[in-house]
Each structure stands twice: as structure tokens, then as C-alpha cells.
Structure 1
């Protein structure tokens, strides 16, 4: 059961102890977690190997820039051996020109 304030505490300040947070959520009965955060939290979960599935909606717009956040803002890779490989499960067009892509993370 979630406490009366609907949050958990795991870490201090700007640091999130992801394994501790996941442990607490598991003890509370959660078995699936959907990430819809920004690039920093997404990147932290990605680099720790904690993402099983990725669902993207690609809109027909282009945004660029050196300081523009990305889906996964995290440490730069040292080698291509460290990339997260994905297997496409499904794709379909949605709306006016957008595409929904659903991937399984290859372990």
C-alpha cells in the first residue's frame, strides 16, 4: 500500500538510489513500472540495465541543438559494445504522420 503522501524516499538531494527505490516499490507490491520522465532519469535506468521495453512515438517534427535534451541523457558510451540493442516488436502509424514504435530490450 502506498503511504498517505503517495511517494517513496530513496537517496538524498539530487541523487536517486534507483535499486533502493525499486526495492521499496517491490515491497509495496508493484511489479511493473512505467518511466515517463526526462532524459536524465531515463538514461540512469538505461545505463543500469533496468529497462525491458521501450515505446516511442515519433512526431513529424525535427528539433535540434547541442543543448537540447534527448530521450536518454546519460554518460557517453566508451565503446559500441555498450550500446543497448533493441528488437522491434510492433510499429504503427498514429495521428497525422506520427509513428509508434515498440521495442524489447535485448539482454
Structure 2
């Protein structure tokens, strides 16, 4: 049975897929921790421009919140993020690799 791909967030619903794609994928591209973080960000009235998503495995945090930067060590996570941003008609997000310092403009990590 394929997993649900519609993630309900405080900013509205976004469609998220895992990468690489598998036929009849049983797992969702987000978890309960992602949803809790999104609720906390929304309560903080965080502006997407200041949000730095760290190790956002499939892009759930960045796509839903409008984060402008992601700090990661995973090329697969970067691919998943790019595909999910495109699928949801969102602007590209700056990727900073974990071997580099995080963006200084981030106000919420």
C-alpha cells in the first residue's frame, strides 16, 4: 500500500514524496517530529527568510515553512528537497553542505 503524500501543515497542505522514489512506497516523506517543528515555527511566527532547516531528510520542513536555506550532509536529501519544491511550485532553496558554516542570516534553526 502506498503512503499518503499530502502533508497537512500550519501553512497549508503540501505534497511530499521520498527520494529516490519506489513503487508503492509504504513510508511518508515526513514524520511526527517534522510536524511538531512546523507547529513550533508557526507559533513563533517565523519568517521563512530567516529559517534554516538542518538535515531536512525529504524537504518537509523547508517546503512547508518557506525556509530559504537548508544545512545538510546528504545529496539525496538535497535531491528530495529540489523535487518537492518543484512539485509544490516553490522557489529554490539555498543548500549549504555540512562541511561549511551555516548561513549567518539564519534567525531560527
TM-score (norm 2): 0.31
Q: Which has the higher helix share?
A: 2
TM-score (norm 1): 0.31
Q: Which has the higher strand share?
A: 1
Query: Greater CA radius of gyration, 1 or 2?
Result: 1
